[in-house]
Amino acid sequence: MQIEKRIHKCSHLTPVENEIAHYILSHKDEVINYSIQELSEQIHVSKSAIHRFCKKIDFKGFNELKIQLTNDISADIYKEHDIDINYPFTLQDNPIEIATKLLELYEKTIQDTLSCLDKQKLVHATKLMSKATSIDIYTHAHNMNIAKNFQDKMLTIGKMVNCPESFYEQRLHALASNKNHIALILSYSAKASFILPILQKLNEKNTPCILVSGYQNNPFPQYICEHLGMSNCEELQDRIVQYSSHIALQYVMDILFGCIYNQDRSTNKKYVLNAMDYMDDRKL
């Protein structure tokens, strides 16, 4: 994961550590050639403070940070000629060129989303969802398609998922929720108007809430027990459609299903096989 993303994900940096972070991000080309002693002298902080900063953003030490910084510089150079996330193809592109550019967009979105995901958060979210008596998904608009796709996948292993569509239905589900439910909030920006009233009611009901959104987009951390971040390079309005955010959210939900399936793989596989004759009546 890029250093800038690691820093954004770390919410408990001290003022000194924020100063170190700012200097590193502002002087990447110089820092890759520094020793820890030279960096210490440049920003007038102790070597131990730099070492603590490296540990806090999940590096073993300063040398490992420099290796990642070198990779980040290479990625920045590549991005200068990279595909436009918001307008990935032009008027002059033929159908195959459009297809090729969208393939590149999808690959980069998935790679970026993978770099945003945290193993422990995925494990925790999976455990919460696996033990819940009901999984309720709160989302709207185009994200509802992804919610229903997840619902369909879960039904193939006998797991019930609710996808209330209207605001009215969502509020009814929130009122009926309890500590044995788990709520999934799907929103790229996490700014949709329906979110806060739902979170507040679910909080009253002691329902654990998992937010799936852009990796920096968690405006209500007091109500969220786990935040699964995804690629958020796409603009909220200045774009053709939701190409990148759609594929990122679909990827995260497919990962969650895979993790839940593996929680009890043998039982789930048996359920699918036993259901096959009933569900598939084709004469094959």
User: Pick the residue with more confidence: 256 or 30?
Assistant: 256
Chain mean position to CA 224: 14
Q: Closest Cα partner for 188 from 168, 209, 161, 218? A: 218
Give the tens place of pLDDT for each residue, 253-282: 999 999 999 999 999 999 999 998 888 888
Q: Over range 16-35, report the average pLDDT.
A: 91
Q: Using the predicted structure, report yes or no on whether residue 202 has a pLDDT greater than 90.
A: yes
Alpha carbon distance 142, 128 (integer Å)? 25
Alpha carbon distance 262, 16 (integer Å)? 43
Question: Do 87 and 22 meet the contact criterion of CB atoms below 8 Å apart?
Answer: no
% residues pLDDT > 70 (the chain): 96
Question: Do 206 and 124 meet the contact criterion of CB atoms below 8 Å apart?
Answer: no
User: Pick the residue with more confidence: 114 or 262?
Assistant: 262
Q: Using the predicted structure, report yes or no on whether residue 47 has a pLDDT greater than 70.
A: yes
Cα-Cα-Cα-Cα dihedral sign, residues 128, 153, 142, 87:
positive
The three-state secondary structure class of 11 is coil
Task: Return the bridge partners of 182, or none.
Answer: 135
Q: Over range 12-34, report the average pLDDT.
A: 91
Q: Closest Cα partner for 235 from 189, 187, 275? A: 189
Residue type, 260: I
Across the chain, mean pLDDT equals 91
Whole-number Cα distances in Å, 239 to 69, 96, 142, 235: 30, 21, 15, 6
pTM: 0.76
% residues pLDDT > 90 (the chain): 72
Look at residue 77 in the predicted model and tell me its pLDDT: 52
Look at residue 5 in the predicted model and tell me its pLDDT: 84
Look at residue 253 in the predicted model and tell me its pLDDT: 98
Q: All domains of the chain, ordered by start, with CATH?
A: 3-81 (1.10.10.10), 116-279 (3.40.50.10490)
Q: Over range 93-113, report the average pLDDT.
A: 92
Res. 134 pLDDT band, cuts 50 70 90: very high
Q: Over range 183-198, report the average pLDDT.
A: 96
Look at residue 78 in the predicted model and tell me its pLDDT: 47
Question: Do 189 and 220 meet the contact criterion of CB atoms below 8 Å apart?
Answer: no
Task: Return the bridge partners of 185, or none.
Answer: 138, 211
Which of 88-92, 203-207, 231-235 is modeled with the greatest confidence? 203-207
Residue type, 30: E
Give the tens place of pLDDT for each residue, 145-164: 999 999 999 999 999 999 99
Alpha carbon distance 165, 114 (integer Å)? 29
Whole-number Cα distances in Å, 54 to 7, 34, 92, 168: 10, 15, 46, 47
Residue type, 90: T
